[in-house]
Amino acid sequence: MTFFNSFLNKSTKITCALVALLCLSAAARAQDQDEDVVPINSNLVILNVGVADQKGRAITNLSQSDFNVYEDGVKQSVVSFEPSTAPFSLVLLLDMSGSTINFRPTLKQSALRFIDALGPEDRVEVIAFNDKVQTLQHFTGDRQKIGFAIDEAKGRGSTSLYKALRHSLAELSKEGKRRKAIVVLTDGLDTDERKLDGEATAEAKTGDEAVATVKPDQSAALRSVLDLADRLGVTVYPLALPSADPTKMLPFTPQQAAIYSAARTRMQTLADRTGGRLHEIRRLEDMGRLYAEVAAEMRTLYSLAYQSSNARPRDGKWRAITVEVTRADAIARSRPGYFAR
């Protein structure tokens, strides 16, 4: 009897320990899954707006009263306004997958030139990605720390582009009401998307047939990034590396044609939908200049926010945004709208 009670007590302790371990494991998995979950005011719409004259020259001396914002044709009340001089919180996202190894010296020199062109109060986080996503430097205004992080970026392997973008957006969500942007240097060939595109076009006989089969904008990974960027008001500037240039890899198989075409289309969509601009790096010596152009463009943007007055439920449908400037010679450019998810 004594032996049985002792055995029962030990068994109970072991069972409790196993249950505790399982609970801890489940909690850890939930924490991993929720790592990039971002709380968002779903009715607040944030816009970064560039304004230029008829000759394309930036206009940077406007006030809130110079702007009118419409959603689905209905005028909205702007609840906050930041001038073009307001600082940014910026993620510098660097592709460290195997396809960028030959570009590393130029990549790092160009990124450093980009940092030098930012405003003194801009805050930067440096994130590198390949098959993993690694924050090399959390948000800071210390240029020396940022430069050290860029110099330390290394790696090889596959490309987790959309995972890196989601991580970047989660980091930006912690930056409060500051203006937000992502500058991502990549060939755009996300490994998971590449696999899905290849599977979808396995039966295609020609390049045109394969390209027509893939619907780049229907990518779940892309949609999740765009939805979060919409809600946070983040502008994305992709810089497309030469390794993603289809003309440098001819002749293509039909599957390669579809994969490269879809990757480039998704990068263009990232820029267009967030109000950014896609810069194609055709020659490595142009990389530094294009980085500097992005920095200059960011310093001409205004930021506006409004609470949507749209009475319709968030039904997932498209809501068009139009930004008008009262100055006669001015043209505004911003993101064209959002899906109300």
Residue 22 has pLDDT above 80, yes or no: no
Mean pLDDT score of the chain, rounded to an integer? 86
Which backbone phi and psi does 261 adopt, to 5 degrees? -65, -45
Q: Of 241-245, 250-254, 292-296, 315-319, which gets the smallest average pLDDT?
A: 241-245
Question: Which candidate, 258, 333, 294, places its Cα nearest to that of 185?
Answer: 294
Answer for the pair 136, 153: CB distance below 8 angstroms, yes or no: yes
- Give per-residue pLDDT as tens, 158-217: 999 999 999 999 999 999 999 999 999 998 999 999 999 999 999 999 989 999 999 999
Enumerate residues 6+ apart whose C-beta is below 8 A from 237: 181, 182, 183, 184, 271, 276, 277, 278, 279, 294, 297, 298
- Give per-residue pLDDT as tens, 256-269: 889 999 999 999 99
Q: What is the pairing mode between strands 179-186 and 88-95?
A: parallel
**Global pTM value:** 0.85
* Domain 88-297 in CATH 3.40.50.410: yes
Confidence of residue 100 (pLDDT cuts 50, 70, 90): confident
The amino acid that residue 257 corresponds to is A
Find the mean pLDDT for residues 220-234: 96
Residue 21 has pLDDT above 50, yes or no: no
